[in-house]
């Protein structure tokens, strides 16, 4: 009887282990003010002049990254008017928006494009930035920080 009981324990141990694999493809995520943040939808657009716009959405938030090119490379935020980042929070009850943005001499950070697949129409890379409260809204702090940001295989339209 002990052998049967031991056999059942071993059998349950082997079959109770499983891998719960989930793919986050495409992905747009990062650490916003030291809290994990993930978009539920993201899209990239390459304009006719070659500039890139990546937008990531949640139910109440929008993060927008802009560069002057979709080419692989590093684009510094706050040093040129063409490489920018914007974060907008819209309160669902009051419909009031809080905007954080960068510009020439405003905010800092970088957008690094690591892969631009023109055939598969996807783009991947990393980002980090500090943005300033654009309209000095008293409901939010003076700055917003994103770290460890990643966009992976975001569809390009």
State residue 25's pLDDT score: 72
Closest by Cα among 104, 151, 94 to 126 = 151
Query: What sign for the dihedral angle of Cα 27, 156, 54, 57?
Result: negative
Q: Which residues of the chain have pLDDT under 50?
A: none
State residue 89's pLDDT score: 96
Q: Write out pLDDT tens, residues 35-67.
A: 999 999 999 999 999 999 999 999 999 999 999
Q: How far lies 62's CA from each of 42, 50, 57, 101, 108, in Å?
A: 9, 22, 5, 12, 18
The top-level CATH class assigned to 24-155 is mainly beta
State residue 127's pLDDT score: 98
pTM of the predicted structure, to 2 decimals: 0.83
Q: Hey, where are the domains in the chain? A: 24-155
Task: Give the number of other CB atoms < 10 A from CB of residue 151.
Answer: 26
State residue 4's pLDDT score: 62
User: Under DSSP, is residue 97 helix (H, G, I), strand (E, B) or coil?
Assistant: strand
Q: How many residues does the chain have?
A: 157
State residue 150's pLDDT score: 97
């Amino acid at each position: 009887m002990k052998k049967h009981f031991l056999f059942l324990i071993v059998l349950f141990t082997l079959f109770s282990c499983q891998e719960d694999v989930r793919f986050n493809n495409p992905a747009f995520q990062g650490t916003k003010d030291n809290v994990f943040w993930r978009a539920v939808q993201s899209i990239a657009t390459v304009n006719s002049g070659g500039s890139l716009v990546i937008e990531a959405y949640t139910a109440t938030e929008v993060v927008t990254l802009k560069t002057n090119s979709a080419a692989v490379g590093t684009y510094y935020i706050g040093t040129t008017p063409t490489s920018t980042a914007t974060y907008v929070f819209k309160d669902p009850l009051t419909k009031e928006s809080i905007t954080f943005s960068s510009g020439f001499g405003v905010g800092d950070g970088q957008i690094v494009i690591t892969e631009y697949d023109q055939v598969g129409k996807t783009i991947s890379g990393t980002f980090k930035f500090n943005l300033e409260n654009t309209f000095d809204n008293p409901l939010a702090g003076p700055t917003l920080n994103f770290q460890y940001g990643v966009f992976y295989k975001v569809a390009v339209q």
